[in-house]
């Protein structure tokens, strides 16, 4: 079972083989198929950079709000040292279970979906503008 010993940072050869292999298998399986049922998912691929930037702001804003609702100062979310080290004030007192993380993930994607739809419609209306295709 040693081939499951993958390292994401820095990406090991096995990690790249696994992730790229699965992606290529999915791509070959979906090639030429009618993906109308998958339209809500393919939308995120059409506005990828827009969604990426938007979700970063949404997640960080949500984390900041949760910290303040728990009664901690917002300054605890400013990392001075390495980002992998949590603030000493929050050590052992802040975090979520895996189920809560999945619920937050589904909530963020659901909240950003209508914004991505409207951006996609705006993007289609303004194809002649050069900057629209990049976002």
Q: Tell me the pLDDT of the chain (135 aa) as tens digits.
A: 666 677 778 888 888 888 999 999 999 998 888 888 888 888 998 899 999 999 999 998 998 898 888 888 877 777 766 666 667 677 777 778 899 999 999 999 999 999 999 999 998 888 888 787 777
- C-alpha atoms less than 13 angstroms from C-alpha of 5 in its C-beta half-sphere: 3
Q: What is the pTM of this model?
A: 0.72
Where do runs of H (alpha helix) occur along 34-97? 39-46, 48-69
* Owner of token pair 């970063």: 56
């Amino acid at each position: 079972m040693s081939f499951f010993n993958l390292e994401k940072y820095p990406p090991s050869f096995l990690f790249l083989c696994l992730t790229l292999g699965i992606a290529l298998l999915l791509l070959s399986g979906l090639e030429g198929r009618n993906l109308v049922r998958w339209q809500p998912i393919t939308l995120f691929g059409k506005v990828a950079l827009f969604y990426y930037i938007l979700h970063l702001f949404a997640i960080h804003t949500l984390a900041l709000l949760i910290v303040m609702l728990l009664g901690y100062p917002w300054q605890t979310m400013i990392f001075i040292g390495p980002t992998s080290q949590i603030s000493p004030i929050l050590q052992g007192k802040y975090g979520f279970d895996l189920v809560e993380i999945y619920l937050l993930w589904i909530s963020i994607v659901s909240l950003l979906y209508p914004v991505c739809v409207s951006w996609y419609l705006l993007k289609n209306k303004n194809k002649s503008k050069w900057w629209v295709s990049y976002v």
